Amino acid sequence: MNYEETMHWLMHFPVFQPKNVIHGKARMDLNTIRALLAYLENPQDACSYIHIAGTNGKGSCAAYLNSILTQTSMHIGFFTSPHLFDWKEQIQVDNQWIDPLSLAELATQVRNIAKEHDLHPSMYEVTCAIAFLYFQHKQCDLVILEVGLGGDVDATNVVSHTVCALITAIGLDHTELLGHTLSEITSHKVGIIKPHCDVIVYPQTQEVLEVVASQCQQRDAKMHIVPSIQADTKDLSGQSFHDYHTQLLGTYQVQNAMMAITTAQILQTKGYPIASADIHRGIKMTIWPCRFEIIQKDPIRIVDGSHNVQGVYQLKKSLETYFKAEKITFVMGVLEDKDYEVMIDILGPISSCFYTITPPNPRALDAQTLAHIIQSKGHPAIVSSLDQIVDQTRSISSIVCFFGSLYYVGQVRNKICMRQFR
């Protein structure tokens, strides 16, 4: 396949839907990805990994770590999903997306092996296989690997050379697959912990920490609970804490930064060539789009990929921190399996109005349905669309916050940024 044929092939896989797993119409296990990688001669075994699981903060922690580690002389792989702007951004080495030629060659290799052995991998499993082949080819010294969903049966969990496992903030999300309590959900997340690795844990409830500690004991892994911190100073240019500075504005980002700092310091003790200056510079230079990102200042436009209750709570906290008692116009687009009614209840008190859109995903909640629910809770709601929303909100002089599914906020960001540079 050439690049165009590869992208056509990748874009025509069925979209993952949790309800299909629940109803027995789809499988969620490691059997197919293990078989596929075995026929590819197990490229995942060629590298060492920093494996990251959790409900919220996975991507931010991964981005901080990638920024720190790419300051060094090491070759650093980075795997994250879903993509915001371009499929290739999911697979990076040394801050460079996988190139079209390599993607086409490796995708062809994966497709041919799957066909030859009558395997039927999902798009996510294919993406993981391509990533592992690419990291092997690039001879990465370390790979930062973000879990897609859960942990124990996520396709990334075929790796064995885990140096550090990170457990970020745990909340109630994907409950239909992972369980309805924090301990049940955590029991899936800790599946990434491998024997003798270092485990870095976000400061959180005792219920969560007990599950992590139990798994660490079983795997003879060392548990490190990151100290709880807050920013010393903050404004719209960034936040300072201890003697570090980050451009990322969300109030939770200093804690995510501390996760990355702690991990980097542990890697230093293991002999990895990371200088203290690399850590400071990496934190300062980290960019992570669509996470409480102000993309326009006059008037203010914010894009935020908060798509679950825990994330929306943090969104509200950040808005109240930076903008005090101002009322916000929210643009909301979510998937139907999210707890959107609670999200509305959280943001309703600080809202002036809601616009609703349908994200471009088969699992999306219809904008009309969402608007009716918002209205039933006593808040104004206007039905819009991805094509119309930027122009529709252009005349609003107050703050507009676009939040919800990453399947749409990245596109909104592009539209607004492109309009500014015309």
- C-alpha dist (Å) from residue 409 to 292, 307, 337, 404, 416: 11, 10, 18, 7, 11
**pTM of the full structure:** 0.94
pLDDT confidence of residue 421: 45
Tokens representing 292 are 């409480």
pLDDT confidence of residue 205: 94
Closest by alpha carbon to 268, among 254, 279, 252, 259? Answer: 279
Q: Are 142 and 50 in contact (CB under 8 A)?
A: yes
Neighbours of 174 (CB within 10 A): 16
Extract the residue ranges of the chain whose pLDDT is less than 70: 16-26, 175, 419-422
177-236 pLDDT, tens digit each: 788 899 999 999 999 999 999 999 999 999 999 999 999 999 999 999 999 999 999 999
| Contacts of range 124-128, beta carbons closer than 8 Å, 24 or more positions apart | 124/16, 124/81, 124/148, 124/155, 125/32, 125/33, 125/36, 125/155, 126/10, 126/13, 127/10, 127/81, 127/90, 127/91, 128/33, 128/79, 128/155, 128/156, 128/158
102-128 pLDDT, tens digit each: 999 999 999 999 999 999 999 999 999
- Token match 């309703």: residue? 348
In 3-state terms, what secondary structure has residue 199? Answer: strand
Q: What is the dihedral of CA 256, 261, 264, 268, to 10 degrees?
A: -160
Phi and psi for 203 in degrees, rounded to 5?
Answer: -65, 120
